[in-house]
């Protein structure tokens, strides 16, 4: 009979694993019982109540002030109406104290549309909560109750320091059963699941179910690194794929809701887009990482510090690889605070610090200029290298394309008439001459254009460069 010691050894060798000790020490799970005892008093059940409207086909619709009784069915046998008491739609979720004076964080979707919000503390006491403010885009809300004494509360940790495999603990009220604790690891970071404009979820295999929404996700030190918000589940229950909003988003939103009742996201005065393969070739970029600056708003936070064709690779030290990641990074920075941007230009790495501002109010659109009679309209300037005719645009920075030679370089790149050319690489153009000057002695250029589909960069191989060869 094969000895019990031989079989594991053979198995390891067959898998290509040596019997030497691993090169690292696996991290031990946190002391979950101790962590839970400390955190549970700060976690609450949240119940939102909203009068439920009668469904189509069920009789008279519910109306405010109608006495609360609605005809929902008719007994044809005796022609008497069946009268039923009003019903209310209830949503159960979770929340947690973030300060000793009664402020509670939860999900927006837990309390959305509620006419009344009840909060049940860990000791069983029930309070009616006031909605301080909500941010639908981040799916967060802040409630307030007054218990008459300081409340136990949780502190925020740094979600930016989480790594794959780190232990996390989720506390919530699954299916309304009451306070429950589950543990798991960080399965993935920066997940965009399409639920909102600032998706940047932490994914975990800790058990998260319906009713856990709004509950805290804690790190091994007991600090809040996320708010449990969503699950992926064909069955409706936990299958090990849960998502939490990172504390890097939760903390600034919560503080803004407490201070102002709403969340006004900061503005950098930048228009950015993905680094395309065409840009990478035209600008000789080694990688496609980062986002390229398409435009800088005059007198905005980034004016004079960044320019079109700068490729932003980091915000406050965090790597940026997509436009979505850039928008999320800025959304986590309240107006008035600074953002450290790292960018590449001409093969060199630069740093810039900008102060995030409140977005400006939309100006009233100015009246469109009256059309100029054809007899007095100026003739377009021909840009031979691109095969286009252009004119100075009276109401915008750039030159407008008025004609395109179907056999020219611009046509081959997809440029169309009525497109505004704003820049050649990092250089803005304000006249046909400036455009021509920027094309001299170049084999290919990246043009910043504004057309029917919005602003974008296009790469153009120039005709004079092709003829030179």
Enzyme catalytic residues: 109, 139, 213
Q: Which two tokens stand for residue 250?
A: 């939760």
Residue (of 411, 264, 438, 285) closest to 348 by Cα position: 285
Distance (Å, whole) CA 354 – CA 335: 11
User: At 4, is the secondary structure helix, strand, or coil?
Assistant: coil
Please give the span between the terminal C-alpha atoms of the chain, in angstroms, as a whole number.
79
User: At 184, is the secondary structure helix, strand, or coil?
Assistant: strand
How is residue 215 annotated by DSSP?
Answer: -
Distance (Å, whole) CA 417 – CA 399: 11
Q: Are 93 and 107 in contact (CB under 8 A)?
A: yes
Q: Is the sign of the CA dihedral 180, 182, 187, 189 positive or negative?
A: positive
Residue (of 257, 124, 107) closest to 178 by Cα position: 124
Distance (Å, whole) CA 459 – CA 441: 16
Distance (Å, whole) CA 266 – CA 187: 30
């Amino acid at each position: 009979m094969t000895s019990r010691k031989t079989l594991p050894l053979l198995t390891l060798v067959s898998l290509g694993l040596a019997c030497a000790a691993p090169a690292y020490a696996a991290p031990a799970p946190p002391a979950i019982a101790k962590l839970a005892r400390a955190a549970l008093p700060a976690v609450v059940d949240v119940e939102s109540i909203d009068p439920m409207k009668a469904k189509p086909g069920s009789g008279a619709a519910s109306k405010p002030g109608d006495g609360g009784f609605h005809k929902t069915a008719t007994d044809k046998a005796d022609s008497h109406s069946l009268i039923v008491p009003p019903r209310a739609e209830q949503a159960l979720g979770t929340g947690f104290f973030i300060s000793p004076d009664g402020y509670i964080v939860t999900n927006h979707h837990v309390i959305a549309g509620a006419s009344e919000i009840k909060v049940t503390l860990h000791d069983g006491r029930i309070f009616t909560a006031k909605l301080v403010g909500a941010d639908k885009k981040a799916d967060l809300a802040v409630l307030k109750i007054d218990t008459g004494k300081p409340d136990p509360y949780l502190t925020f940790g740094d979600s930016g320091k989480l790594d794959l495999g780190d232990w996390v603990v989720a506390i919530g009220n699954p299916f309304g059963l009451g306070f429950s604790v589950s543990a798991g690891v960080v399965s993935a970071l920066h997940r965009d699941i399409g639920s909102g404009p600032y998706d940047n979820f932490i994914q975990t295999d800790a058990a998260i179910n319906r009713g856990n929404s709004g509950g805290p996700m804690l790190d091994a030190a007991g600090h809040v690194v996320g708010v449990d918000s969503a699950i992926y589940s064909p069955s409706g229950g936990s299958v090990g794929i849960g998502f939490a909003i990172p504390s890097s988003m939760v903390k600034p939103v919560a503080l803004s809701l407490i201070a102002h009742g709403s969340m006004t996201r900061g503005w950098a005065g930048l228009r950015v887009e993905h680094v395309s393969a065409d840009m990478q070739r035209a600008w000789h970029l080694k990688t496609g990482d980062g986002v390229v600056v398409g435009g800088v708003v005059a007198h905005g936070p980034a004016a004079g510090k960044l320019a079109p064709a700068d490729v932003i690779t980091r915000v406050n030290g965090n790597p940026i690889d997509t436009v979505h990641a850039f928008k999320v990074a800025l959304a986590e920075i309240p107006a008035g605070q600074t953002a450290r941007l790292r960018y590449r230009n001409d093969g060199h790495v630069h740093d810039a610090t900008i102060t995030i501002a409140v977005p400006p109010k939309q100006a009233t659109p100015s009246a469109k200029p009256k059309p100029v009679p054809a007899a007095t309209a100026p003739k377009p300037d021909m840009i031979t290298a691109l095969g286009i005719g252009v004119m100075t645009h009276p109401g915008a920075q750039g030159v407008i394309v008025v004609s395109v030679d179907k056999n020219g370089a611009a046509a081959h790149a997809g440029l169309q008439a009525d497109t505004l050319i704003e820049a050649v690489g990092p250089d803005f153009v304000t006249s046909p001459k400036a455009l021509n000057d920027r094309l001299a002695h170049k084999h290919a250029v990246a043009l910043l254009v504004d057309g029917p589909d919005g602003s974008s960069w296009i790469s153009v191989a120039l005709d004079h460069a092709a003829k030179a060869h």
